[in-house]
């Protein structure tokens, strides 16, 4: 059974497909998987034992068309994306059966459940969405102290980001118990630098700022070795859930009922429950950003103590 899977663009969404993909693999025990998607998505799942090929797609449709024609024929094609590009692939690909996720149909429950329901309906099965699974070689880091990860970024938009000084105030309070790692991609280098500036002012020395300096493989390694993660609603938050890393997640404009950590036994959400939440906007439409502005380091520190 040759199966082509198009993964979601975002890191976190890709992690949230893993229970559905595992259930698909149980159903098709003897299968070969080809993955297509963004570089981040491919990096997360390329080590799955059933994956034989991976392709990172470019946005150019002519290049995309040539790449698809090079694939050959598949028995089944599943797309976890609901985009024009995905519809184009569905039209062009040579596959006996095609299935595409539709966010208008799968609009209730947690995102993990939505993806799993899509696979259940496509295959006419009734599987349960179990824990997130990443097939990675995780090595235990040699460390003297416990590690705290600070993840200030969020690819979706600025409205999801907590404030650098609040992150720094929290990290400073915890620096006696933890060594600190500031995480983030290339787009988070500025906010990570702001946090670092405050930590220097506070005299905190036991930290590393690796924002913008890590591959996805390295990010997975770093997160898997954390003893605690403080984060917004983000891809690294879902990576932490896959490794059952104790996590305090700060939610502002997004819906924690849909995108909170899935089945992490040590996960706490901090949010203010304002009337305007969740607005699901990339930037605050009311211009006050109170859903994040009103969350203080003391609020998060209180929840950290509950996890200890």
- Does residue 243 sit within a domain? yes
256 and 183 in one domain? yes
Q: By the 8 A CB rule, do 194 and 164 touch?
A: yes
Instruction: Determine the pLDDT at residue 70.
Output: 82
Residue ranges for the chain with pLDDT beneath 70: 154-156
**Which domain does 20 fall in, by range?**
2-123
180 and 75 in one domain? no
The backbone torsions φ and ψ at residue 39, rounded to the nearest 5 degrees and listed phi first, read -60, -45
Instruction: Determine the pLDDT at residue 156.
Output: 66
232 and 172 in one domain? yes
Angle subtended at Cα 82 by Cα 81 and Cα 86, rounded to the nearest 5 degrees: 70
- Does residue 220 sit within a domain? yes
**DSSP output for 124-185:** T---------------PPP-SSEEEEEE---TT-GGGPPPHHHHHHHHHHHTTTEEEEE---
- Does residue 134 sit within a domain? no
CA-to-CA distance for 184 and 181, rounded, in angstroms?
10
112 and 155 in one domain? no
Q: Between the CA of residue 35 and those of 47, 56, 74, 131, 134, what are the distances in Å?
A: 11, 8, 12, 21, 15
47 and 196 in one domain? no
Q: In three state form, how does the secondary structure of 89-123 look?
A: HHHHCEEEEEEECCCCCCCCCCHHHHHHHHHHHHH
List pLDDT tens digits, range 228-271. 999 999 999 999 999 999 999 999 999 999 999 999 999 999 99
- Does residue 51 sit within a domain? yes
112 and 207 in one domain? no
152 and 78 in one domain? no
Q: What is the CATH number of the domain that holds 26?
A: 3.40.50.2000
- Does residue 284 sit within a domain? yes
Closest CA to 11 of 45, 36, 35: 45
Length of the chain: 308
156 and 11 in one domain? no
288 and 163 in one domain? yes
80 and 181 in one domain? no
CA-to-CA distance for 202 and 189, rounded, in angstroms?
20
Q: By the 8 A CB rule, do 17 and 110 touch?
A: no
Boundary-marking domain end, from 89, 123, 157: 123
CA torsion through residues 219, 224, 229, 231, sign: positive
HSE-CB for 246 with a 13 A CA cutoff: 11
- Does residue 130 sit within a domain? no
Angle subtended at Cα 82 by Cα 76 and Cα 84, rounded to the nearest 5 degrees: 95
- Does residue 129 sit within a domain? no
Boundary-marking domain end, from 123, 157, 180: 123
Closest CA to 163 of 129, 214, 213, 198: 198
DSSP tag of 254: S
263 and 207 in one domain? yes
CA-to-CA distance for 55 and 283, rounded, in angstroms?
32
- Domains in the chain: how many in total? 2
160 and 19 in one domain? no
List pLDDT tens digits, range 136-183. 877 787 778 999 999 998 666 788 999 999 999 999 999 999 999 999
Closest CA to 262 of 17, 10, 16, 80: 16
- Does residue 259 sit within a domain? yes
Boundary-marking domain end, from 123, 154, 172: 123
Query: pTM value?
Result: 0.95
């Amino acid at each position: 059974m040759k199966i082509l899977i198009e993964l979601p663009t975002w890191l976190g969404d890709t992690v949230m497909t893993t229970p559905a993909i595992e259930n698909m693999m149980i159903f098709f025990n003897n299968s070969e998987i080809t993955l297509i998607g963004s570089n981040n998505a491919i990096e997360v799942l390329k080590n799955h034992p059933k994956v034989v090929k991976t392709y990172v797609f470019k946005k150019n449709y002519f290049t995309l068309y040539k790449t698809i024609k090079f694939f050959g024929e598949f028995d089944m094609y599943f797309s976890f994306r609901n985009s024009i590009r995905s519809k184009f692939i569905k039209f062009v690909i040579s596959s006996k059966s095609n299935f595409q996720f539709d966010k208008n149909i799968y609009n209730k429950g947690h995102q993990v459940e939505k993806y799993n329901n899509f696979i259940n309906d496509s295959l006419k099965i009734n599987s349960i969405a179990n824990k997130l699974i990443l097939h990675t070689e995780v090595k235990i880091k040699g460390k003297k102290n416990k590690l705290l990860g600070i993840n200030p970024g969020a690819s979706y938009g600025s409205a999801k980001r907590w404030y650098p000084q609040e992150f720094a105030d929290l990290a400073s309070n915890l620096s006696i118990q933890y060594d600190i790692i500031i995480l983030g991609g290339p787009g988070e280098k500025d906010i990570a630098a702001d946090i670092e500036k405050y930590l220097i002012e506070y005299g905190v020395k036991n930290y590393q700022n690796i924002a913008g300096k890590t591959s996805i493989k390295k990010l997975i390694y770093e997160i898997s070795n954390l003893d605690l993660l403080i984060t917004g609603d983000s891809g690294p938050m879902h990576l932490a859930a896959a490794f059952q890393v104790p996590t305090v997640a700060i939610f502002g404009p997004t819906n924690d009922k849909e995108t909170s950590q899935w089945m992490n036994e040590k996960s706490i959400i901090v949010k203010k429950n304002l009337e305007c939440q969740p607005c699901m906007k990339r930037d605050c439409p009311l211009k006050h950003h109170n859903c994040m502005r009103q969350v203080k380091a003391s609020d998060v520190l209180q929840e950290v103590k509950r996890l200890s």
